[in-house]
Amino acid sequence: MNLKEKCRILEFEDHGDDRGKLVVIEGDGYSEVPFDIKRVFYIYGSDESIVRGKHANTESEFVLINVAGKSKVRITDGNEEIIVDLDRPKIGVYIPRMIWKEMYCFSKDSVLLVLASTHYNSDEYIRDYDEYIEMLKHSSI
């Protein structure tokens, strides 16, 4: 499976009418998110000059959605690289375990919503790229 297939773009259904729009996200296979959602956090107040993330996770899977504003996410598996424009509230990207990610190019109004498959555990974050590449050699993913 190539990186685009692994980190697929999710397009959520838009229940829009003349009052505005509404997007529903449910975990555990009830909507496009392929895991049960254990944690939600959002990132805002970053700007064009900031790069966030720069880590991979041994346990967590994520879905990233810019519910307001825009950002980009650079994703790599140490082999291929893709860049996803998160620029609409109905678009998300799924990031499985052991994928390196960097979020950047935040618009001033960016609110980046992140859904995660686990509760927070700092021990499962790999924050050193060389260590990540080394760990991939011993990983079956």
Active site residues: 55
Q: Which of 43, 64, 98, 99 binds ligand TYD (CB under 6 A)?
A: 43
Among 64, 61, 117, which residue's Cα sits nearest to residue 89? 64
SS3 annotation, 75-96: EECCCCEEEEEECCCCEEEEEC
Q: Does 30 bind ligand TYD (CB under 6 A)?
A: no
Q: Minimum distance from CB of 20 to ligand TYD (Å)?
A: 29
Query: How far is the C-alpha of 86 from the C-alpha of 59, rounded, in Å?
Result: 23
Q: Which of 11, 81, 120, 139 binds ligand TYD (CB under 6 A)?
A: 120
User: How many chain residues are in contact with ligand TYD, going by CB under 6 A?
Assistant: 6
Q: Which of 52, 70, 72, 88 binds ligand TYD (CB under 6 A)?
A: 52
Among 53, 59, 48, which residue's Cα sits nearest to residue 76? 53
Residues contributing to the site for ligand TYD (CB under 6 A): 39, 41, 43, 52-53, 120
